Structure 1
Amino acid sequence: MIEKLVLMSEMLQAQLRYPSSEASATETFADTLAEDFKDLKEYITKALSGVTANTWQINCSAISAGINRICTILYSLYASAIRSGDSPVRKAQIRFCKKLSSQIEELIWIIGVLAPGMISKNNAAPLSTYLPARLRIRSKSKALSELIPLLDEHCRPIIEIIQSAINNLLKPGKPVSFRLLEYLEELLEVLQGVKEDYPGTTINYRLHIKLITYNFNYPRYVAYCNGKLEEKFGSDSIIEKITNLSWYEMELRRIIPVPGKALFEAPMQSAQYSLQLYVTEEIKYLQLINALPSGSNVDKIRLKLSVAETSLLFLGMSELDLIEDKNFNHLTLQISRFFSTIQAESVSKESVRSNAYRYKPETIVSLIKKLLELINWLRSK
């Protein structure tokens, strides 16, 4: 097994050093790949030569990084070939990528037998693993459309959000890790289970539970859920909102996520945490408002900025951590309560949020001009 591992690294290196007619179409990549394979063979030889445990670990890390780099290059080459039209060169590039990827896949398998865990699940999967997995994932993703007639009007768009996330993550030329392929296949399999009826639950409820349990922390999903929650309770009284949101918060806390599962790993927050944070901050704010004496007025700070400029300014400060409040929905509530603008004495939180995320180029220009005035004033001090 060890001899085969070293021999394979030599053969792969030689194949690139002396390109065949198929490989000749890859001259741009061949030199880089040949050097990578040369380094890979060296690290494999060192790792298997009875060196110290510390040196073994160093070489194992180098082997994993080297294979990841080679797989990433082959993703780029394959995507380039797909985009280049139906030509002999294109076909040669595709054959070359597939053949080389199959050999890389076998190399990874041998390394896995000799040293389990050496190849990280976050490494890019070889094309020979990725391409059939992508077909399966896309097929299962399309099958989710069968759920749309069974869902209510609020949950139907979530299917499109899931499908959009998958399409974005599986774009040609974008390396995909073993971990992500495994996660997507498992998630889609689990989502098919929402059709199974459980007493006391609806298919809409089961869809959310499975997405949160499997930590589908796609930003669009979290934003959509928060928006729908606000829409659902928007016309309620403050007390009713607090009661309903408290129930929702309790339901979120009861969910037990599957360990180690996530669409995006750290530092991206989990879907459960992000949804819970929004609800918790909304409850705190509503409790604060409810505690104010009836008819109390707040003296607002008047800004010589438009609503759009104000929204963009606070969004920027939030993104750059100049404001500790990480919940922008909560921040919009505070802005609407304590600030007025040259356009309006009363600014709704909906207007603040809408202008923050749908700003126009002229808003950026005008805000930059005003910020430059502030910078020049600071420089004069």
Structure 2
Amino acid sequence: MKYELVELEQYIHDRLPPEILPVDEKLREKVAVHSHYLSLQVQRLRTIFKEDLAAMKDLERARIYVPVHALSILDICGQLANWFQAAKEKGQNQLMEFYSRIDRLLSDLLQILQKTLPAAFDTSLPIPFTIYNDHLPHIRQLIDGISDLKPLLDHHNQPVIDLVQTEITSIWASPREVTYHLLEYTTRLLTALSEIKDRTVPNYSHYLHTAVLIRLNYNSPKYIERCIFKLIEKMDEMNNLEKLITIDFYVDELSKIVPLKSDCLISDEHSALDQLKAWTFQEKKKLEKPLLATQQQKELEKLFLDLSVDELAALTYGAQKAGFTRKDDKLNLFRQIIAFIRTIGTDNIAIDSFANKTYKPKEAAKVSMRAKLRLLDDALR
């Protein structure tokens, strides 16, 4: 789809073959009006960019200004054209609904361009990409508008919606595209996640990606809601310990970044954060094993993550045989077992203290950090 901006009108025309127009004459007249309006919008787009085509080519190569570079605009218009094509299979009433919604989307797109272009070529800005944050809510409105078309499309068109959302949200493809506040926030996130130490923890990249998305889109409650419930779906892939760590982490992070104000309501007067907290309370009730006291939990995690794989396997097996549960004073018990293991070493440690078995260090060499979390969770049963 490497189209020059001046070819936009022809591009859309090519994607709207005459046969998609309805047979009914009156309806055809209405469609003609909508088609004329679409043509006018295209002309306005061409006027806006008339003096900046050379700059737009540079932007297209750099792919820095996602909302304003020519390729993205053409992609969006191309998807609108695809929906025209899909409309012919939906019946005449829904066809008109498509036209009406597409008109609004084009209008939103025009607003984005009008708000963006004056600043797009302002070289006085420290980082050109910072303009993205200024019109982010308008872009989100466009994405929400596109997503609203989903009920009118069959499931085969979901990739179309995903494509547009991915194109506009793929702003962290390189360090050049990271604004100062995003860089600072990412650093803070990485610091917080470093408590888990190992980045092979399941869904690590999802934690970071979701949190950054939420940070960038705090003015769009619908988008935050989607991020939250996508995260909740991921919870099914985690064990109890991973769930609890994740829940606490996100409640804490969202408490810092989600504005609790009247225009951030989603439904039934509950904000995205309220919904997450409510879900957290319900989920924690379902988990039979309560969290350790905050301070003890941190100390326990530190002790646990500092263990070698050999010590881990010996500790886990020994702890299970010692028969402790989450109701016991786990921190002291762990300390005693760790001290015992480190005193006598793990090379030739005999687990006879706990059971009539001998521990084989080679078997522990395969234990990853991901397995460590699961082993600890098993040991705490």
TM-score by length of 1: 0.31
TM-score by length of 2: 0.31
Higher RCO structure, 1 or 2 (CA under 8 Å, sep 6+): 2
